[in-house]
Amino acid sequence: MCLAIPAEVVELREDETALVEIGGVRKVVSLMLLDGVEAGDYVLVHAGFAIERVDREEAQRTLAVLEEAAEYGPLYE
């Protein structure tokens, strides 16, 4: 139930809402719980609300850490 999905903000709308796109599907979500959202941001959407921005640099950093371990190769060939 605590599922939250990353969605790209397409445009800001009136009344503290934004149009977002999730895997090709567009829907309007509330921005009542998150300040400073801009078009082009990725936000986590839960129960119709944006609850946080996805931080691009941190996402990249986590991937880099994971890729570093992958370079040593698999346990089972």
Partner 1 sequence: MRYLDEYRSPALLRGQLRAIKELSANAVLMEVCGTHTMAISRSGLRPLLAPEVDLVSGPGCPVCVTSERDMGRAVALASLEGVTLATFGDMVRVPGPQGTLLEASSRGATVRVVYSPLDALALARENPDRRVVFLGVGFETTAPTVAAAVLRAREEGLKNFFLLSLHKLIPPALRALVDMEDFSIDGFLLPGHVSVVLGTEAYGFLPREHGIPCVISGFEPADILRAVYLLLRMKVEGSPEVVNEYSRAVRSQGNRKARETMYRVFREADAEWRGLGVIPGSGLELREEFRDLDAGTWDLEVPEVGERSGCRCGDVLCGRIRPPECPLFARACTPDSPFGPCMVSSEGTCASYYLYEGGERERPI
Binding residues among 5-24 for partner 1 as defined by CB under 8 A: 5-6, 8, 22-23
- d(CA 14, CA 27) in angstroms, rounded, equals 14
The minimum distance between CB 14 and partner 1, in angstroms, equals: 14
Phi-psi region of 14 (alpha: psi -120 to 50; beta: other; left: phi over 0): beta
* Contact in structure between 20 and 50 (CB atoms under 8 Å): yes
- Interface with partner 1 (CB under 8 A), residue total 42
Which residue ranges make up the site for partner 1 (CB under 8 A)?
A: 1-6, 8, 22-23, 30, 32-35, 42, 44, 46-49, 51-52, 54-56, 58-59, 61-63, 65-76
